[in-house]
Every structure is written in structure tokens, then in C-alpha cells.
Structure 1
Amino acid sequence: MQRKTTKSIAVYVISLLASVPVFSQQRDLKLWYDHPSGKVWEAALPVGNGRLAAMVYGNPEAELIRLNENTVWSGSPNRNENPHALAALPEIRQLIFAGKTKEANQLAAKNIQSEKINGMCYQPVGDLQLTFPGHEQYTGYSRELDLQTAVANTVYRVNGVKYTRQVFASIPDQAIIIRLSADKPGSITFAASVKSPQKSTVAVNGNNELVLSGISGDKDGVPGKVKFQSQIRFKTEGGTAAGSSDAIQITGANAVTVYVSIATNFVNYADISADEAKRTTAYMNKVWPKNYTALLKDHITAYQHFFNRVQLDLGSTDSIKNPTDIRVRDFAHGNDPQLVALYFQFGRYLLIAASQPGGQPANLQGIWNPLMNPPWGSKYTININTEMNYWPAEEANLTEMHEPLVQMVKDLSVTGRETAKTMYGAGGWVTHHNTDLWRITGPVDPIYYGMWPMGGAWLSRHLWEKYAFSGDKKYLQTVYPALKGAAEFYLDFLVEEPEHKWLVVAPSMSPENSPKAHPGESITAGATMDNQLVFDLFSNTIHAAEALNTDKELVAKMKAARKRLPPMQVGQYGQLQEWLQDLDNPNDKHRHVSHLFGLYPANQISPYRTPQLFAAARTSLIQRGDVSTGWSMGWKVNLWARLLDGNHAWKLIKDQLTPAGVNKGENSGGGTYPNLFDAHPPFQIDGNFGCTAGICEMLLQSQDGAVHLLPALPDDWKNGRVSGLRARGGFEIKEMIWENGQLSKITIVSTLGGNLRLRVPNALKENGQLKAVSGDQLNVFFQPDETAKAEISPKANVEIDTLKETMQYDLSTKVGQVYTFTKK
């Protein structure tokens, strides 16, 4: 009976994969290893459904499945404004403008820094342990994470019996499913137990169910009040099951399916009144009647709805035959282009697994965390890291995965109103450089890091970007109040600086950095990133208001304020200045490159519109250096792609795909763990998402007046194919093929209609449809904003490189039409 079931499952999976485009079938989209994880969390394999997550260790004798649920956080509803901020604000500003930054820092630390609460921690549910007696000695071992099915598999032999384990987190069934089978009947014998580092209890119901109940931890004086429950139920085929005081013993089964249900009492950031036991039982009662074949079928169908939208082929070598950890070890010194495609798709897999509509956004570790007090609390660090998690959402055709972040911004636009009023006497809403499940919006951590009231500006960019790719005005109406509120805050908060009469943000900082002239004193006014962020926010809110034909008076105010923002400045070293004054140190290797926000992810610096700023940004990036933390290298891949330097972007990918600890530099130089997780170090997931976005940017850009194909193609990617990438303005690449570095075929679908301006590396056959560019770009999604002119230091020597020649074409498109072009 068991063999028939296994065969039917295999036939189903094969038939399902037959629907995947042919060129993707020819590439191995698996992370695989020839040894277990042991005790190494960074070697275990992640599965998730946006709400539930598990790390699968693949240990034959002592399997470990570490469990998470995305609302299990320490603490409970709370706020963290400092009520003394408003009274101290005028003096702090006065000290900054007088050049007394030390005194300004000290005063801000006393009056703006949070008095106690610095954000809660994302915490684990617990560990499911499966102990298999006699499995200490095994042969033929292999484990894998199949990105095409989102199933983690472990296979090995003991005494001539082949054992197979399969683990997945089902989106439609909202459960984690574990399948244990063998090719000889009666071979499955194990003990199952569960434990948690939380305050918890374990109960055994009958002979087939473990129940873990607990409550989250306290932090910063805030009591932990998130109640959670996990029900783990065992469905056996043959054999016997028996419960003891704290474990389930399965003996002589042909196969076992394990159903894991988890839920909490969390309703929203202000409400934890749900009944976690009833919720968990409801999930279990829904999934329990389904057999494994149906569970697997529904899981794969739901997952592939997202994953199969994009395929990438960069070629393959014999390296594909090696285990993934060996490929990472050898990558920087060999030729393994398929590992890049695997890493790209792994990033898309992680976003699908960590961020589903209706759930929480991916946090600093996505959704996977084994620690009660993880690094940085595994919170939402919103001075880049949270935003970076969502850089690939639109381009990599995962727009639905963007929705949890959008909802969090809507939440913050509510909680941040009180912060804006209480701390700064301003309208609108504000948040600083960290938030958490409870949507706190006051400063977090010491003032050196926390004095950054710009989180709302950066997060609001995502509201607009989602619209720029879809053109969905109904969606835009739902997010416009949050966009508007963020802009209203800065209209109130901006202050005139005395020397140039520019409007600046004060107090603030250039994230987590300070100039060499004022070490340890980060507080400042008019940091370049702040100016770029406010410019970006005003511009996007203006476009949104005009698209919705509303708030003309507000639009006029934003346009007037935008004109008074400081220009970007080129300093004495030919660099883009990080601060209002020329204080940059060309030997500064800081991980943050905040003043390059205008280059990426924003579109204020262009090789075609602002060549001097473009050259200065390049100089700044060279001065910063390549090797840094993992997430920083992920950002630099995107920056070099925007600088149209594919070879340098490729070099950063090689640096990133190096085993953690090998690179030397600030914070040990980042890199990649055996399971392809990004190393800050320690693990942060943003580097994975940053590199996935960077690979998109190397192949397709759409921010600078046109859909630019192969803008940063490295020499080593001479031939390739990609399908499914999206561009602003509602354009999708159905297929793009290049040969010997030149575009040979492109098929594009237009979902919104309108003018498509193509920028390509070589001439295309016009076919009566394409025409040479003449006149302005008429498509509203591609009309760049007027940027402030560069101010260049008399000491600066700005060298502008000659750009590679490109061809530009215009095409008038209709909604739903598909257009194909080939090389001339």
C-alpha cells in the first residue's frame, strides 16, 4: 500500500513540473548537501508559508525541526515616545546650526532618545524533535531544498532500508507537513517530543498528539503577552502509536504524516484578544482530514503560482554536480553561472516563504529565528534593512508579497501620528530607524543610531513603487492617505538653515555614521540622504495626488518646499557629499552608503540627466570599497548596476557568494552561509533579497525614462535567457534572450498600454512597429522629476566616464498586447 502511495505522489510531482517552461527544467533549482546539518542552524534548510516557518536539520538519528510563527514577539502593545523631545527641540537645532554637535548630541540623548523601550524581539515557538533509534550509522545520505516545489527532502539508508523525509509549509492549508516513509514496510520507528525556550507546557493528547502552549517573553519592562499554541498530530499508516507523559512513540509504521498547527492570540498591534487554542484547533481540524497526496498537490500548486512566473538561465558547468556548500566555497575562483541563477531564485523563494498577504512583513531574519534574544531583536530596521527585503518584490514578479509591508506602513501611519505630535509638534506621521510587531514609532537605541526621523519617508517609497509597476488607481487610493501623512510631517518639520536658507531636516543623521571631524557625534542637519528622501517622498506624493486628481493646495506646498531642499553637492575629493558640509573621509569604509540613496533605490542620479552627480556617486562608492557586511554588499550590487558597470556588480556577487568568514573587512566582511543565508555576520536575510534585486537591475532597469534592457551585463554572462521580470509602467518581459552580449530576442507584454521607450545595447529590427526616439517621453510613469542641480566644490576634480553606446526606440502599445522584436 505504501509503495502505491509513494508512486502516485511522484507521478503527480512529475506531471506538475511538466508545466514549467522547458529552459527552466534544464537547470537544477535545488540546494543539496551530502551531510546533515548537525547542530548548525545556518546549515539547516528553511521552509515557510508567510505565517509559519521551520528550519529542517536533516539529522538521521535526531531530526530537529525548529518552529516559528510570525506574531510570536516579546512584549505587548506599547509606545516609546520621549515626552521631553518637543521642549528641547529648539535648543537642539540651535546647537546644531552653531556647530556645537557634541552638546546637541548630549541634549538629544537626554530628551529625544527613548527613556526605556527600544523595541521587542521576534521569538521562537519551539523545537520538534524526532529520535530514530539505530539510525546513527547510515549510508547514501542526501538532503535538499527543491525550489521548484518548496519541499525539503532528506534521504538515507540504514540496514538496507531507504528512508525518506519530506517537509513543507503549506500556504493553502496553513500547516507544516512532515512525511516519513521507507521502502520496506514496518520500518518507521521513532519518538517525538517538543520543547520551547519560552514559558510553556507540553501535553500529550491520546496516542497521537503533542500540544505545546506558551507565552512570549518580557522586554524593557513590557510584559510578554503573546500566547501561542502548537498542536502536532501524527497520522500513521500501519504500526502502533502510544503516548507518554511528554512524548509520542511510533513503532513499526509503514509511513507517518505529521501535521503541525500553530496560532497565537494576536489580532493586530493594539489587540491580543484572540483565543490561540481555538485558532490552532481550527487550523488542525481543517487540515487533518486531507491525505498527504492532496496536501502536497495543493501546496505545490499554490507555491508555483508565484514561483513559476520568473525563470533565469545563465548557462551551466560541471560545478552543478557538486553539493551547494562546495559550490559556494569554489564560486569566486571558478565558473558556475548556474549558482547565480539558483541564488536569485532562492531569494524569490525566501520572499514567498516569509511574506504572504494578510501576514507580517519579513523581518531582519525573514521569518526564521531560534533565539529568544536574536541579534538586533530580529526587528524591522527601517533605515535600509526592511526596505531591502522588498526590493525584488515588483521587478521579480512577486507583487503580492509586497502587501504585508504596505499594511505595516498603513499601521505606522496611524501610530506615528502621536509620535509626530508629541515629540515634534508636527502633523502627519513619523517613525524612526526601528519598529516591531507593536508598530512603535519613537527612537530606538542610543541617540547615535536612533536620531533619524526618516523611516516614514523611506517606507512610503514602497507604496508608490507598487503603483508604478501596476498602475492600479484603486490600490493607490488605499495608500494615498499614508503617503500624504508622511509628506505632511516634513512640511511641518523642515526648518530653514541659516547659511543658505535651505529647508533641512534637523535634528537627524546619516544612518549609523559620523564624520571624521566629529567622531561619535552623528547628529546633524540636512544630511544628503535626508534631502534625497524628502525629495523622493514629495515627488511621489505629488504624482499620486495628480493621478487621483486631489489635494491641489497640498501639491503646491510640496512643490514649493521641494525647490528649497539642499542640492546634492560634489566635495573636494570628487565625491558625492554625505553631509551638508564637505566632511567626507575618502578612507571611510562604513557599511552604510546612505548618501547614494538617490542613485538606488531612488532615481535622482542618472548617467544621462545628471552626469556630474553620476560620476561623483561612482567616486563615493569606490572610496567606500567592496567588502563589507552581507547586506551592504547586496546594496552595492544594485548601486554598481545603476552605475551601468556589470563587471563590478558581478564582482560584488562573487564577494557575497563567498563562505562567511573568508572575506576580511568591516564586521568580518559578510558572505554566505552553507544554506545560502546571508551573513552580516550574523545572519540577516536582507543581503539575500538585495542580491536578488541586484541581478534584476543588471538585466532590466526602468527608472530613467525608458525600459533599459541588459544595462549592466557582465562579460561573463555573454549568453542567457530570462522571463517574467517586470518594469514600471505595466510592462512585463515574457522572454529576453541574449547572445554574445547582445540582445537577440525580446517579447514584452503591455498591461497598461501607452508609450514603451526601449533602451537596448544593439539595434533591433523595426518591423513597422518600433521607431527611433524623437521628442519627450509621453508615458507618465517614465517622466523623471526635476532634480536639484549639483553644487561642485572648487577643489573637486569630477571625471565623467564615456558611457557605452545604446539604441533607443519608441513603441505605442495597447493594453494586453504582446510585442516581439529580434536583433537587426
Structure 2
Amino acid sequence: MARYRIELTAEAAEFEDGFPVGNGRLGAMLHGRPGIELIDLNADTFWSGGPLPPPTTPGPADLLPALRRAVAAGEHARAEALAVRLQGTAWTQSYQPLGQLEWRHGDQRDITGYRRHLDLAEAEAVMQYSAASGAIRVAAYASAPDGVLVVTATGAGTVPAAVAPRLRSPHPGVTAARIVDPVAGPCVVWTGRAPAHVVPNYVADRHPAVVYATDTPAADGTVEAGMGFAVATAVRRTAEGLLLVVAVETGFRGHEHRPVADGAPLTAAAVARLAAALARAPQALRARHVEDYRRLFDRADLHLSGPAAAGPAELLFHLGRYLLISSSRPGTQPANLQGIWNADVRPGWSSNWTLNINTEMNYWAAESTGLEQLHEPLFQLTRDLAVAGERTAARHYAARGSAVHHNSDLWRFTAPVPGDPQWSNWPSALPWLAAHVWDHLAYGAGAGFGRATALPVLRAAARFALDLLVPDGEGALVLSPSTSPEHHFRFGADGFAATSWGCALDQELAREVLTRFVALSARWPAPADAALAREAATALRGLRQVPIGADGALLEWYDERPPREPGHRHLSHLYGLFPGTRITETGTPADFAAARRALAIRLEHGSGHTGWSRAWILGLAARLRDAALAAETIGALARDLCSTSLLTLHPDPGRPSGQIFQIDGNLGVVAGLTELLVQSHDGAIALLRALPAEWTAGTVRGIRCRGGHTAAVTWRDGRLESATVVAGAIGPLTVELAGPAAVHTADGTPVTTIEVAGAPPGRHRLCWAARSGTEYRIG
């Protein structure tokens, strides 16, 4: 269907204009070039580096008391200098490309009628055109069931013989071998190695920036760093045209284990995967792929009619869900800054997991749009980091629990990297990740997940938060040291610094994680947690609230401090409004008004100049019930911060286009769009809280809500026409809407409801006794 398609009439001018396909493990970016298709290949576990070596020198934790004294005394320059000394000496490693396949599939003469589209309903990239010798159609998809990339070329314009592709890899020493497998038949396999070390692209004064190892693998095929890879391809002539199948393998064996660099076992594994796929008929391969994909994609849908149908919102909703399905599956790595699509050896910000907003944003919509099992890679990363961060907490802070800073990678890096404290010295990543663990429980995960994942993660985060708390001299507890991610405040005539105490984001996260640990330790009591729960409860009573400034806005730092960038892209001090849940219109009205003012100030000064920042603004607008801001934000995102293929962008002056693809905006915008229509964070399932005026009519379905419920809504002329809620549990069920409404079960039986308090102005809340699995119809 056309409403699930991104349609273009020109090939990709830049990487970010291509069409991405993926199965969570293998990623491919198709450029849509007539005659010779260009396909950038990635594998989720193909990174530079190797397992983190154990430290050989003492940590800098002995500096912490002096740093805290400088912060308390307002000695900003000294605090900043000490914060730099508290940092580590290493950076994260970088996500790597395998290379670019060039595949000659058809006639390149006299091209007419060119068009290409990305089919979001069936996860397939298609290119069609006519050449001198006839029409050509090229279609590509990445199959999760079979673990391969499949590309077909059909039509009279295809080349008469099966031509093997070429791999152009940026890595030196890549070798090609022609193999005849008993099952797969003739294959071409390329093998090579990743760099042993890559300095991040934002570090300019380190040479060499990319280092390749020259060591010989040990007897077991492993090395300290610089894993191997294999790319296996086979091309077959079929009755319809040409079939290209691609399989990839990497030497990753786990973040604590030496990677494999011997090409022989990687070749064997890639060819075996290729052979298994080729044993199936092409039609069966595609059918298995579509069935697997649609099992996830069809769980939720958004359909806008009227003037909004021609706008970008619906496509952005479908594209974001498509990208998460394509880049994150159980057993894979989580989606990184670019999902699983990257063509650079030194990609932007290492294409790593940036944990001060971006990685978390990737998963904001996983629970609400029916993709909850795709959250699992993030949970595995969180479990791993909770363990790895114990050493960082001890070495850098002499603290219990686990400290995780703003960047991580395949090897579960947790330390503060060298550089400016505004981004390096932020140790609150684990509490933010813990929010996703909590949400998984809130949306209906069972006790097994709670005991095995949620409780250990929250325990580790709570221990560290408690050890970071200090008295502020005014009767309250604040985290020290503390920074507001990637932002400075000004002091003196021309000074600026990041290091402080009690910054808004850190305070919000500490309150959240301590509150939730207390709740879980009561839900699943264990003698070992009793003392820690009491300590957390005591700390919560003294924890400083985020203050409101003289201008009526929530403060970003401990007290009134001029921001270095009033229009900064990060909106960290608004976490409590979104994606957090503490600030609500009726529960905390003063903070709600202060959050509205803080956002207005940011926007007045130009915030929202990256794709992900706009996605965050959309979520905030939804929580503020500001439909006009939401509509403006969607328009600005699509108009100014998306590529031709609707991939969201971040400014990057170092690139020819001046921009780089980052997936967070694409994935985060889905959460914002969903929140405009259905919210469930403040005690009710709230319908159509922030419906843009342009969205005169439409339907959304399959929206999961906290409590395990599922909602669908239809509206016309800007008003609710009907809604259904399938209850996920027995007990009181509260729905909020613009006016009173009747409630019936699916068989028409009336349901007795009562109106309850808690609704924002102009809204109503209806409550009734629900039965698990029962469908309730409203309107």
C-alpha cells in the first residue's frame, strides 16, 4: 500500500539518502544505482578493538573529596580541572563497516522511468527503471529467519549471466576466494580484519587514528584486538532473472572474550548460512521474511486521513517502527547511533551507544507500539554494564554499585573518557537505562524479569546514587559531582564550566531509581536488600527537588546560572516531564508550568536543530498538551532534519553534505507521535490529549499501555469517535478523554463507570472494574 512506502525518483546522492534494510544482525544500505547497485554492508558485532584490559594503575578516586570541596565552595575552574583528572585515559571503540558491494545486474543505457521505494509493510527496498534492453526491477530485503541479505533483479534488462559482485572494503588486507560449496555452489568470500584501535572522529590530535594489528592469531584463532570478518556471496540465474544472496560472519565471541581473526572458521560459517538459505526456493525465502517481519510490524498502526494524510507524520511512524525491527532483535546488539548502518571507519561519535539520551531514545517506543521483545538487546546491554560499571564506581568514585558514563561500545566500556567534563563526567547512565527496565515491568513483564533483571540493575544503580549524595549545607542531599549533559554554565566575566552538584537530570534520575528500588524490594523482598531499601527511603526524604528559577523555569543546574547555549539541543532538565513521569499537570502543577517555561526559553533561542532533539521536543509537547507545538515540530523535523529517504540527521561540518544520519530521531519520533494520541504514565489511559488540528480524522491501534492494556482510537472532525481498550489485568481501569462517554463490552453489555478525579482541565476520567482480556468499547 502506498501509505507504507517512501517513494523517490532519484538514486541516493549520499549514504543517508539510501534505503536501509536489516534483520537486527546484518544491515545493508542500498543506493539504488541503475545497472550497478551499491550496497553498504554492516554486521551488528563488527567493531574495532577487543576486550577491555584490566587496569594496571590505581584509580583517581582519591581526587573526589577535593573535587567535592571545590564544587561546594563555588570554585568552578578548580572543580573543572579536578574533574578532568578524574577521567580515564581511553575512549570507546568504533562500529565498523564491512565494505560496499558493487553488483552489476542490468543494462545502464538509456535509463528512463526511474523510481525506487522502501516498502515499510514488507521490509523491502525496490528500484525500477527501463533501459535500452528492457525493464528492470531490483528488490532487496534482509531476512531474519534465514540470516541473509537477498537481492533479486528481474526483467528483460537484466544481464544474461550471473555476475559476482565486488566488495570494496575500507580495511587493508582483505582477500577474496572463490569456493564451490556442495550445497551453495560457486561462492565468492572475502575475509579481513577490523582495526585493533580507532580514535573517535571528534579527537583531532591523535596519530595514527586507525591502527590495524599485524599479529598472527593464536592456535584457537583468536587475537587481543582486531576481529575478523567474512562476507560470502552467491549469484544464481533463475527463471525470473538474477538472485544474489549475502551472508556475513564476525569474530565476536562475547565482550569478555578474545575475538576470532582466523578467516577459515568465519568463512565456513558464512558459507553454511549461505547454503542453508539457497536450499530454499526464492519465493519461500521471501515468504519467510515477510511473515516474520509482519508478525511484528502489524501489531500497531497509524492511519491519518484528511489534510494530514499527505503529511509526514504517518510515514515517520511506520518508518521508525520499521527501523527498530530492522536493527534490534533478541540476541543481537542494541541499535547504536546509526542503528546498524554505517559506512565510515571513524563514524560520527564512533557510532557507539551514547547513553546521555540517544541510546535510550532509540527504545522509547518499543513498549508502547508492540515491539517489547525488541527491547531485549538494550536490557542485555544494561545487565552487562551494571556488572562492568562496578569497577568504574570503585576506581573513580570509591563507591558501591555501578557507574556508567555517557559512552559505551561492544566491549561494555563504562569509564569517563578523556575530554571536556560537559560530556565525559556524567556517571548517571545506568539510572536512565534502568528506567527502561522499569517500563518493561510497568507494561506487563513478569516476576521472572523483575527478579532477574530489574532488581539487580536498580540495586546497582541505587547503591551508586546513594554514595554520590552529599549534604548541600542547606538541609538537602544532592549528587556530587554532577553535570548537565554536554552543556556549560557561565561564571565570572568569561568563564564557563560543567562540573557542579545537584544538576536537574541527575537529581531526577536519582529520585526515580531510589523510589523504584524501594518499590521492587518491597514487591520481591530479600534479606540482603532490606538495609539498602531503608537507606534509599531515608535518602529520598532529604533529596533536593529540582528548583524553579526567578523566570519561572525549571533550573538546569543547582541554582541560577547563565547557560552557555540558551538554545542547547539537550533538554536534560526536562527529563521529569518526558521521558520521565514525575512531572504531571495535576500532580505537580508548579513543576509542570516551570517545565513549559523552560522549554519555551530553549525554543526561543533555537533549540531543536538536530533530528533527535526535535523528537524529544515532540514528546515534551505531547505531555504539555501543546498540539500546535507538536505539529510545528513534526513539520520542522521532516522539512529540515531528514534526508530524502526520511532518515533523521545531525549537523556534521566534517561531511560533504554537512549532516550525518543518526537513527535516534527516527525512533524517538514514534514515541512522540504515540503520546499525542495515547498516554498512560499518570494513572489513566489518556486518549487524544494533544491531537494536532491538522489531524482531523484517523485511527491508531495496537498501542500498549502501562498495566498491560492495549488501546485503539478512532477520531473524526478532531473528536473521539470510538475507542477500545483490552484490559491486561483484573482491577480498576481508568480512561481519560475529552468528555463523558458510555462504555460497553464487545458484546454490547453496558459497563458501570464512575468519574474520578485527576484529569487535567477540560478532561474527564472514567473508572470501572476491568476483567483481564476483556475488550471495552468507549464512545
Q: TM-score, normalization: structure 1? A: 0.85
Structure 2 counterpart of 1:331? none
2:738 is the counterpart of 1:761: yes
Structure 1 counterpart of 2:245? 259
Q: Check the 8 A contact 1:515/1:584 in 2, yes or no.
A: yes
Structure 2 unaligned segments of length 5 or more: list them.
200-210, 214-224, 652-659, 745-749
2:440 is the counterpart of 1:466: yes
Q: Check the 8 A contact 2:107/2:158 in 1, yes or no.
A: no
Letter in 2 for 1:683: F
2:517 is the counterpart of 1:541: yes
Q: Check the 8 A contact 2:487/2:565 in 1, yes or no.
A: no
Alpha-carbon distance between aligned partners in 2 of 1:222 and 1:232, rounded to the nearest angstrom: 25
Alpha-carbon distance between aligned partners in 2 of 1:761 and 1:119, rounded to the nearest angstrom: 49
Q: Check the 8 A contact 2:548/2:554 in 1, yes or no.
A: yes
Show CA shifts across 1:107-127 (max 9, x none): 221x21222x11000010111
The 5-angstrom pairing of residues 75-90 of structure 1 reads: 75-78=49-52, 83-90=58-65
Structure 2 counterpart of 1:529? 505
Letter in 1 for 2:198: K
Show CA shifts across 1:142-172 (max 9, x none): 1111011001111111125111111000010
Structure 2 counterpart of 1:62? 36
2:362 is the counterpart of 1:389: yes
2:192 is the counterpart of 1:210: no
Letter in 2 for 1:228: F
2:777 is the counterpart of 1:807: no
2:722 is the counterpart of 1:745: yes
Structure 1 counterpart of 2:204? none
Letter in 1 for 2:631: W
2:8 is the counterpart of 1:30: no
- Deviation (angstroms), 1:339: 2.6
Structure 2 counterpart of 1:674? 644
Helix, strand or coil at the partner of 2:497: coil
Letter in 2 for 1:677: L
Q: Check the 8 A contact 1:188/1:255 in 2, yes or no.
A: no
Helix, strand or coil at the partner of 1:54: strand
Q: Check the 8 A contact 1:132/1:191 in 2, yes or no.
A: no
Alpha-carbon distance between aligned partners in 2 of 1:283 and 1:673, rounded to the nearest angstrom: 34
Helix, strand or coil at the partner of 2:676: helix
Helix, strand or coil at the partner of 2:92: coil
Structure 2 counterpart of 1:350? 323
Structure 2 counterpart of 1:489? 464
Match of 1:602 among 580, 601, 611: 580
Structure 2 counterpart of 1:643? 624
Helix, strand or coil at the partner of 2:490: coil
Number of residue pairs matched?
Answer: 724
Helix, strand or coil at the partner of 1:395: coil
2:97 is the counterpart of 1:124: yes
Helix, strand or coil at the partner of 1:467: helix
Structure 1 counterpart of 2:636? 655
Structure 2 counterpart of 1:786? none
2:298 is the counterpart of 1:308: yes
Show CA shifts across 1:303-346 (max 9, x none): 000000111111156xxxxxxxxxxxxxxxxx654531111110
Helix, strand or coil at the partner of 1:520: strand
- Deviation (angstroms), 1:542: 2.0
The 5-angstrom pairing of residues 177-188 of structure 1 reads: 177-183=150-156, 187=160
Helix, strand or coil at the partner of 1:393: coil
Structure 2 counterpart of 1:229? 230
Alpha-carbon distance between aligned partners in 2 of 1:272 and 1:737, rounded to the nearest angstrom: 54
Structure 1 counterpart of 2:222? none
Structure 2 counterpart of 1:374? 347
Letter in 2 for 1:387: E
- Deviation (angstroms), 1:280: 1.7
- Deviation (angstroms), 1:191: 5.4
Q: Check the 8 A contact 1:263/1:279 in 2, yes or no.
A: yes
Structure 1 counterpart of 2:695? 717
- Deviation (angstroms), 1:716: 1.1
Show CA shifts across 1:394-441 (max 9, x none): 111110110000000000011111111122111111101110110011
Cα distance change, pair 80–512 in 1 and its aligned pair in 2 (3 A): farther
Q: Check the 8 A contact 1:586/1:623 in 2, yes or no.
A: no
Cα distance change, pair 35–541 in 1 and its aligned pair in 2 (3 A): same
Alpha-carbon distance between aligned partners in 2 of 1:718 and 1:336, rounded to the nearest angstrom: 10
Alpha-carbon distance between aligned partners in 1 of 2:58 and 2:26, rounded to the nearest angstrom: 38
Q: Check the 8 A contact 2:608/2:617 in 1, yes or no.
A: no
- Deviation (angstroms), 1:547: 2.4
Cα distance change, pair 720–85 in 1 and its aligned pair in 2 (3 A): same
Alpha-carbon distance between aligned partners in 2 of 1:80 and 1:444, rounded to the nearest angstrom: 16
- Deviation (angstroms), 1:589: 0.6
Cα distance change, pair 175–272 in 1 and its aligned pair in 2 (3 A): farther
Alpha-carbon distance between aligned partners in 2 of 1:80 and 1:657, rounded to the nearest angstrom: 46
- Deviation (angstroms), 1:230: 0.9
- Deviation (angstroms), 1:580: 1.0
Show CA shifts across 1:573-625 (max 9, x none): 11101111111459711111111001011111111011111111111000001
Q: Check the 8 A contact 2:428/2:509 in 1, yes or no.
A: yes
- Deviation (angstroms), 1:203: 1.9
Alpha-carbon distance between aligned partners in 2 of 1:810 and 1:99, rounded to the nearest angstrom: 51
Structure 2 counterpart of 1:176? 149
Alpha-carbon distance between aligned partners in 1 of 2:238 and 2:359, rounded to the nearest angstrom: 44
Q: More deviation in 764-773 or 179-188? A: 179-188
- Deviation (angstroms), 1:820: 1.0
Letter in 2 for 1:267: R
Q: Check the 8 A contact 1:315/1:338 in 2, yes or no.
A: no
Structure 2 counterpart of 1:799? none
Q: Check the 8 A contact 2:176/2:189 in 1, yes or no.
A: yes
Q: Check the 8 A contact 1:80/1:443 in 2, yes or no.
A: no
Structure 1 counterpart of 2:198? 219
Alpha-carbon distance between aligned partners in 1 of 2:564 and 2:397, rounded to the nearest angstrom: 35
Q: Check the 8 A contact 2:131/2:157 in 1, yes or no.
A: no
Alpha-carbon distance between aligned partners in 1 of 2:157 and 2:333, rounded to the nearest angstrom: 43
Alpha-carbon distance between aligned partners in 2 of 1:70 and 1:631, rounded to the nearest angstrom: 22
Cα distance change, pair 430–587 in 1 and its aligned pair in 2 (3 A): closer
Helix, strand or coil at the partner of 1:773: strand
Alpha-carbon distance between aligned partners in 2 of 1:289 and 1:587, rounded to the nearest angstrom: 59
Alpha-carbon distance between aligned partners in 2 of 1:602 and 1:560, rounded to the nearest angstrom: 22
Cα distance change, pair 676–336 in 1 and its aligned pair in 2 (3 A): same
Structure 1 counterpart of 2:570? 592
Structure 1 counterpart of 2:663? 685
Alpha-carbon distance between aligned partners in 2 of 1:774 and 1:159, rounded to the nearest angstrom: 71
Letter in 2 for 1:656: L
- Deviation (angstroms), 1:187: 4.4
Cα RMSD of the aligned pairs, angstroms, is 2.1
Letter in 1 for 2:63: A
Q: Check the 8 A contact 2:107/2:132 in 1, yes or no.
A: no
Q: Check the 8 A contact 1:76/1:222 in 2, yes or no.
A: no
Cα distance change, pair 193–766 in 1 and its aligned pair in 2 (3 A): closer
Match of 1:411 among 384, 401, 413: 384
Letter in 2 for 1:673: S
- Deviation (angstroms), 1:288: 2.0
Cα distance change, pair 387–152 in 1 and its aligned pair in 2 (3 A): same
- Deviation (angstroms), 1:188: 5.7
Show CA shifts across 1:686-743 (max 9, x none): 111111110011011111111111111111112111110111001101x311122221
Structure 2 counterpart of 1:280? 270
Alpha-carbon distance between aligned partners in 1 of 2:670 and 2:95, rounded to the nearest angstrom: 24
Q: Check the 8 A contact 1:80/1:441 in 2, yes or no.
A: no
- Deviation (angstroms), 1:493: 2.3
Alpha-carbon distance between aligned partners in 1 of 2:564 and 2:198, rounded to the nearest angstrom: 40
Helix, strand or coil at the partner of 1:530: helix
Show CA shifts across 1:528-576 (max 9, x none): 1110010011122222222223333322221111111111211011110
